[in-house]
């Protein structure tokens, strides 16, 4: 939405849309254990079985959308000998 539209329509419709998406996710999250934490733990456990990485070089991003959400896991793996992805696979 352009700035012009925002002024013309008022910001309330944006507030309404953001709340609807947010609360749809929060209501689901309430009824189940910490899904994001669980995913993070299990994904990292699987990867660490095959490659070594530093826990603080892991970035996890979540983008919640109305119909689709994305979970982005970025792990920095050092290219030292005996330590790389190529070797591990």
Partner 1 sequence: MAQVLVVTSGKGGVGKTTSTAALGAALAQNGDKVVVIDFDVGLRNLDLVMGAERRVVFDLINVINGVAKLPQALIRDKRLENLHLLPASQTRDKDALTEDGVAKVIEELKGKFDWIICDSPAGIERGATLAMRHADSAIIVTNPEVSSVRDSDRIIGLLDSKTVKAERGDRIDKHLLITRYSAGRAARGEMLTIEDVLEILSTPLLGIIPESEEVLRASNIGTPVTLANALSAPARAYFDAAARLRGEQIPMVVPSEGRGLFNKLFGRKAA
Distance separating the N- and C-terminal Cα atoms of the chain: 45
Q: Considering beta carbons, is residue 16 or 87 the nearer one to partner 1?
A: 16
Q: Considering beta carbons, is residue 16 or 57 the nearer one to partner 1?
A: 16
Alpha helices in the chain (DSSP H): 3-9, 12-30, 35-50, 85-88
Specify the stretch interacting with partner 1 by CB under 8 A; choose among 25-33, 43-51, 56-64, 78-86: 25-33
Inter-residue contact 64 to 22 (CB < 8 Å): yes
Specify the stretch interacting with partner 1 by CB under 8 A; choose among 9-17, 49-57, 67-75, 80-88: 9-17
């Amino acid at each position: 939405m352009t700035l012009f539209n925002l002024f013309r329509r008022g910001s309330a419709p944006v507030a309404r849309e953001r709340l609807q998406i947010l609360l749809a996710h929060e209501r689901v999250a309430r009824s189940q254990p910490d899904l994001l934490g669980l995913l993070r733990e299990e994904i990292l456990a699987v990867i660490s079985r095959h490659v070594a990485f530093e826990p603080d070089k892991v970035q996890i991003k979540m983008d919640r959308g109305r119909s689709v959400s994305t979970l982005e896991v970025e792990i920095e793996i050092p290219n030292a000998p005996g330590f790389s992805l190529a070797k591990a696979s």
